[in-house]
Structure 1
Amino acid sequence: MTVLLVALGAAVGAPLRYLTDRAVQAIVGPGYPWGTFGVNVTGSLILGFVAAWPASTAVAALVGTGFCGALTTYSTFSFEVLRLTQQRLRFLAVAYAGATVLAGFGAAAIGLILARAIHQL
């Protein structure tokens, strides 16, 4: 049953990642990977919330592993840093990598804090 929940969450997260990236690129253009940055930070926020929320293993599998695992993308992030470096946009590559890591940790911490605060109400 857990495997099905992970697959169901991933079936929603992966297309949402793709559609979000395409929508962001249509608005701001393909120069900077804002779509990947956005889904990675959003996924970190959701995962931080789910990790701190006293939920069942089913919810953790569906939302945490399935949805967030498919929504966020380390491989695309790594490729985009490499692509920026190859285009000789080294400062932008370092800034993107640093901003993604810092914003991801920050978003996860905010999600964790929110979940704990809501649970204590």
Structure 2
Amino acid sequence: MLVGQAVRDRFGASVPTGTLVVNVAGAFVLGLLVGGKAGPGWLALLGTGFCGAFTTFSSLALEIWQATEDGDRLEPTRIVALTVVLGVGAAAAGYALTA
């Protein structure tokens, strides 16, 4: 939430850019770990531990909910689409770099 607020204060973005950036970065790191054939212990520690703590599904869910309160269906749809498309792309890029 703090990253999102900082981005909104600085750039005035309507899409929760801070949460989007953090989640996409976490997907990239997870792609690096999986592509690099991290062992189960490292994958659990860094994939589940670090990436799970770094990324924030709860903030994403809250921001989607807040976007629906205005009655606008396009904004929450855009947030979900951007998160999924950029997250999968980032994970694929991380995987490709280390595979």
TM-score by length of 2: 0.84
- Determine the structure 2 residue equivalent to 1:83: 66
Higher fraction of helix: 1
Map of 1:1-121 to 2, 5 A cutoff? Answer: 19-29=2-12, 31-116=14-99
* Bigger relative contact order, structure 1 or 2 (CA pairs below 8 A, ≥6 apart): 2
Distance 2:13 2:70 in 1: 13
Q: State the SS of the aligned residue for 1:54.
A: coil
Alpha-carbon distance, 1:82 to partner: 1.4
Alpha-carbon spacing, 1:32–1:70, altered in 2? closer, same or farther (3 Å): same
Alpha-carbon distance, 1:24 to partner: 1.9
Q: Give the letter for the 2:77 counterpart.
A: V
Alpha-carbon distance, 1:91 to partner: 0.8
Unaligned runs of 5+ in 2: none
Percent identity between the two aligned chains: 38
